[in-house]
Every structure is written in C-alpha cells, then in structure tokens.
Amino acid sequence: MRPMRIRVEVSDLDSIKAGSELHQRTAAQIAQDTLEPHQIKYLKYAMEHLHEDGDLEFDDDAAVSLGDDDGAYVMCWKWVSSEAAGIPSRNE
C-alpha cells in the first residue's frame, strides 16, 4: 500500500482513537505544522544552501528537531540509487 498524506485540523484529533498509531502520527504532524520562528530559519537555511535537485531535497513542511547544542536536524529526502543499494535494475 502506498503512503498517503492528508491534512488534518487540530479539532480532528479528538475524533481519532487516543494512543493509536494514527493519533500519534496526526499529533506529530500537527506539531510539525506549527514550527517556531527559529525552526523556520533552520529549514529556510537548509532549503537555500543544502538543497540539490534530485539528490538532497527538503519539503516545505519538513520536520525540524532542535538539538541539545546549537543546531537542529532538518528532515530531508536523500536519493539512493538501486545500484548503490545492491538492487537489480527494474529495466533489466
């Protein structure tokens, strides 16, 4: 089954069974959608200075996790080829 993204309003969280995986993921998504201004600065920096089309990409709504020291982790997409992963080509 292919993953699917949906938009959920904060008020919808009450109608999802508390403690379920869906509830936890929804709560995490809602928290992610409310980035603090300093978290947005980390994301903007990553998008403007680290982004490489087709290799290292950042979503506009990427998660930003502040570290214990001066910095943050910014979620991204990193391309891994089938060859690098040791997986036969689908074209063969």
Q: What gap in Å lies between CA 55 and CA 67, rounded to an integer? A: 24
Percent of all residues in the chain with a pLDDT value above 90, rounded to a whole number: 45
Q: What gap in Å lies between CA 48 and CA 38, rounded to an integer? A: 15
pLDDT digit string (tens) for 15-29? 777 777 766 666 666
- Residue 32 neighbours by CB under 8 Å, 6+ apart: 61, 63
Q: What is the mean pLDDT of residues 34-59?
A: 91
Residue 13 near residue 23, CB atoms below 8 Å: yes
Inter-CA distances, 17 with 4, 9, 27, 29, Å: 19, 15, 12, 16
pLDDT of residue 15: 72
Q: What gap in Å lies between CA 18 and CA 21, rounded to an integer? A: 9
Q: What gap in Å lies between CA 33 and CA 13, rounded to an integer? A: 14
Q: What does the domain layout of the chain look like in residue ranges? A: 1-34, 35-92
Predicted confidence (pLDDT) at residue 32 exceeds the cutoff of 60: no
pLDDT digit string (tens) for 49-77? 999 999 999 988 888 999 889 999 999 99
Predicted confidence (pLDDT) at residue 6 exceeds the cutoff of 70: no
